[in-house]
Chains A and B, each alone.
Chain A
Amino acid sequence: MLRVMFLGMAIASSSLAAASNDNASSTAATQETSIGDAEIAHIAYTAGQLDIMAAQQALERSTNEDVRAFAATMLRDHKAVNDLALALVTKLGVTPQANPVSQSLTDEADAVRARITKLSGRAFDRAYIEREVGFHAAVNEALRSTLIPAAQNPELKDLLEQGLALFSAHQQHAEDLASELQ
């Protein structure tokens, strides 16, 4: 078990800032959190599930061909990675542990989903894609600076590294789409 400093649920607060104008004070506090493979697995899996839900929302609401294609890719890729994650934790006998970071991710994602569901057309597309840019940027930073260095099991570390490569491509894709939607 490694003790690391989490900068106030940095993942959630920075990930959703682009799409949410909500006050981020609830996530601004710095706190020390113990993080082990069980917590890391839960954070990674939760992030994937939240992006799948965001993609499902986009597929229900957007008619933009490029946005729908992006959402379909998010759905397909995050499901593939989460299936691998589930298989790995089962193999390792690790039970993913809920923790403040994954809970904060979930709370923020719920808030953004509720907010942008009121939007339609181009406004929805832009909000969704901006959310995707911020979410992937923050998750990638967390993977790079905290989760991958903290992971103890080599197979989990490798899966996280694969995830970082994948989500970095997602981030770039989302940034390109965001530019096109301006």
Chain B
Amino acid sequence: MTAGPKFVGVIAWATLAFASSVLLATNSQSPRIHEISIEKMKFASAPANLKVGDTIRWINRDAVPHTASARDRSFDVNIPGNSVREMKILAKGRHEFFCRYHPTMKGVLSVTP
């Protein structure tokens, strides 16, 4: 007994749909890298879709050192002048941060689980 063309088509469609859903699920859960630049004494706006496990790549384009320091102390990154530092996001929630050297520089990371 052989499968008819209609049955084969259904199997192919189901396989494709399953593969797509796996791929989407994988993509939505894979840690991502987000860049936040610092230039002329300002943090660029943080991306909106941050998740626990993602990485923030801080890019300091100023000549002077900065820090990205969470007010809730969940992170504190030193970023020398004209350099790049990365940190993994470990906690969900709304994390206000600032530069310890230049307290007028501020930003917010909003992180979902």
Q: Spell out A's residues near B (CB within 8 Å).
A: 69, 73, 76-77, 80-81, 84, 161-162, 165-166, 168-170, 172-173, 176
By the criterion of a CB under 8 Å from any partner CB, how many residues of chain B are at the interface? Answer: 14
In angstroms, Cα B105 to Cα A80, docked, is 18
- Those of B92-113 within 8 Å (CB) of chain A: 100-105
Does B90 have its Cβ within 8 Å of any Cβ on chain A?
Answer: no
Whether A77 lies near B41 (C-beta < 8 A) is no
Whether B105 lies near A169 (C-beta < 8 A) is yes
In the complex, the chain A residue whose C-beta lies closest to that of B100 is A69
Cβ of A161 to closest chain B Cβ, rounded Å? 8
Whether B63 lies near A169 (C-beta < 8 A) is no
Among B62, B63, B104, point to the contact of A172 (Cβ < 8 A). Answer: B104
Whether A81 lies near B63 (C-beta < 8 A) is yes
Given contacts A73-B101, A169-B41, A169-B105, 7 further A-B contacts (CB under 8 A): A77-B64, A80-B65, A162-B40, A165-B41, A166-B62, A169-B102, A176-B104
Whether A162 lies near B63 (C-beta < 8 A) is yes
> Per DSSP, are chain A's interface residues mostly helix, strand or loop, or mixed?
helix
Q: Which B residues are CB-close (under 8 A) to A76?
A: 64-65, 101
Q: Can you name 30 A-B pairs with beta carbons within 8 Å?
A: A73-B102, A76-B65, A76-B101, A77-B64, A77-B101, A80-B63, A80-B64, A80-B81, A81-B63, A81-B64, A84-B63, A161-B40, A162-B40, A162-B62, A162-B63, A165-B40, A165-B41, A165-B42, A166-B41, A166-B64, A168-B41, A169-B41, A169-B102, A169-B104, A169-B105, A170-B102, A173-B102, A173-B103, A173-B104, A176-B103
Q: Which B residues are CB-close (under 8 A) to A161?
A: 40
Kindly count the residue-residue contacts between A and B in the assembled complex, taking CB atoms under 8 Å apart.
37
Q: Spell out B's residues near A (CB within 8 Å).
A: 40-42, 62-65, 81, 100-105
In the complex, the chain A residue whose C-beta lies closest to that of B80 is A80
In the complex, the chain A residue whose C-beta lies closest to that of B61 is A162
Q: Which B residues are CB-close (under 8 A) to A172?
A: 104
Cβ of A56 to closest chain B Cβ, rounded Å? 17
Q: Which A residues are CB-close (under 8 A) to B105?
A: 169
Cβ of B78 to closest chain A Cβ, rounded Å? 12
Q: Which B residues are CB-close (under 8 A) to A173?
A: 102-104
In angstroms, Cα B62 to Cα A116, docked, is 32
Cβ of B19 to closest chain A Cβ, rounded Å? 50
In angstroms, Cα B33 to Cα A96, docked, is 44
Q: Which B residues are CB-close (under 8 A) to A165?
A: 40-42
Cβ of A93 to closest chain B Cβ, rounded Å? 21
Q: Which A residues are CB-close (under 8 A) to B42?
A: 165
